[in-house]
């Protein structure tokens, strides 16, 4: 099977969503999955802002999976601080429960959602509060992870209306992550070790979930392309 790619301008992605959201009786939940550094947060913000702009009011907000990072004190106590970002370093049960609430609570009633403060590398409780939003964009690494049915991550997909997978070349990810760790205070060597021992093996695990996505997007030079069979 040969795969070609077609450019997917933001307005096409947003138009597709507007049709799906209009046909949905409750809050619509879009998932954006992909490896660390792929650009999930950037794409989510662009989609949210474009949806709100087109609607002329606030209809979309982001519900980051990153808000469910376990606090550093917990990871320190379990010896997992250097493995932060791996599947077991998140409160997955909290994510599932809050996702279910976000999806099932009538539009107009409040649902608090935690965000993640990269400056201190800690979650912020109720960093965002959903209310009248018709669409929630939940973005993170492990939305499509179900390598073991016993893993609680395997229950995420059923709570999402559709999932996009965002991909970029491995060397781009590597470069972005090393730069990010250095900006976060690590030495060049420590940044490289973190990326090679933890982030890139994670990216490999996540790449194995790509085929479960409804849409695979590749990001190249600031543009998005969809893979077509």
Which of Mg ion, ligand ATP, none binds 209 (CB below 5-8 Å, type-dependent)?
none
∠ Cα 19 22 23 (to 5°): 90
Who contacts 50 (Cβ-Cβ below 8 Å, separation ≥6)? Answer: 10, 11, 14
Q: Which of 98, 202, 209, 219 binds ligand ATP (CB under 6 A)?
A: 219
Which of ligand ATP, Mg ion, none binds 123 (CB below 5-8 Å, type-dependent)?
none
Q: How far is the CB of 84 from ligand ATP (least distance, A)?
A: 11
Q: Which of 20, 83, 84, 176 binds ligand ATP (CB under 6 A)?
A: 176
Which of ligand ATP, Mg ion, none binds 219 (CB below 5-8 Å, type-dependent)?
ligand ATP
Which of Mg ion, ligand ATP, none binds 202 (CB below 5-8 Å, type-dependent)?
none
| Site track for ligand ATP across 14-43, x = CB under 6 A | --------------------x-xxxxxxx-
Cα distance between residue 152 and residue 200, in whole Å? 22
Q: How far is the CB of 187 from ligand ATP (least distance, A)?
A: 20
Nearer CB in complex with Mg ion: 75/177: 177
Q: Which of 21, 30, 39, 41 binds Mg ion (CB under 5 A)?
A: 41
Nearer CB in complex with Mg ion: 103/180: 180
Who contacts 86 (Cβ-Cβ below 8 Å, separation ≥6)? Answer: 80, 198, 202
∠ Cα 208 213 219 (to 5°): 85
Cα distance between residue 13 and residue 6, in whole Å? 12
Distance of CA 62 to the CA centre of its chain: 9
Nearer CB in complex with ligand ATP: 123/134: 123
Which two structure tokens, joined as six digits, stand for 213?
């996505």
The phi and psi torsions of 207 (rounded to 5 degrees) equal -60, -30
∠ Cα 195 69 216 (to 5°): 65
Cα distance between residue 111 and residue 28, in whole Å? 14
Q: How far is the CB of 39 from Mg ion (least distance, A)?
A: 8
For ligand ATP, the binding residues (CB under 6 A) are 34, 36-42, 141, 176, 219, 222
For Mg ion, the binding residues (CB under 5 A) are 41
């Amino acid at each position: 099977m040969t795969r070609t790619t077609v450019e997917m301008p933001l307005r096409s992605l947003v138009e597709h969503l507007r049709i799906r959201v209009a046909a949905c009786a409750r809050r619509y939940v879009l998932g954006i999955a992909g490896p660390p550094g792929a650009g999930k947060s950037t794409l989510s913000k662009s989609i949210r802002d474009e949806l709100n702009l087109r609607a002329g009011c606030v209809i979309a907000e982001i519900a980051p999976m990153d808000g469910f990072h376990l606090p550093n004190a917990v990871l320190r106590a379990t010896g997992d601080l250097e493995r932060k970002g791996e599947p077991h370093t998140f409160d997955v049960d909290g994510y599932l429960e809050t996702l279910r609430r976000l999806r099932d609570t009538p539009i107009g009633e409040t649902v608090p959602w935690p965000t993640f403060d990269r400056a201190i590398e800690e979650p912020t409780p109720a960093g965002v509060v959903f209310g009248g939003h018709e669409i929630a964009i939940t973005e993170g690494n492990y939305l499509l992870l179900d390598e073991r049915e016993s893993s609680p991550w395997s229950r995420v997909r059923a709570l999402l209306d559709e999932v996009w997978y965002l991909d970029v070349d491995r060397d781009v990810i590597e470069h972005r992550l090393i730069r990010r760790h250095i900006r976060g205070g690590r030495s060049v060597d420590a940044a490289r070790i973190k990326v090679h021992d933890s982030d890139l093996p994670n990216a490999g695990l996540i790449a194995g979930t790509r085929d479960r996505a409804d849409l695979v997007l590749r990001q190249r030079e600031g543009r998005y392309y969809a893979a077509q069979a």
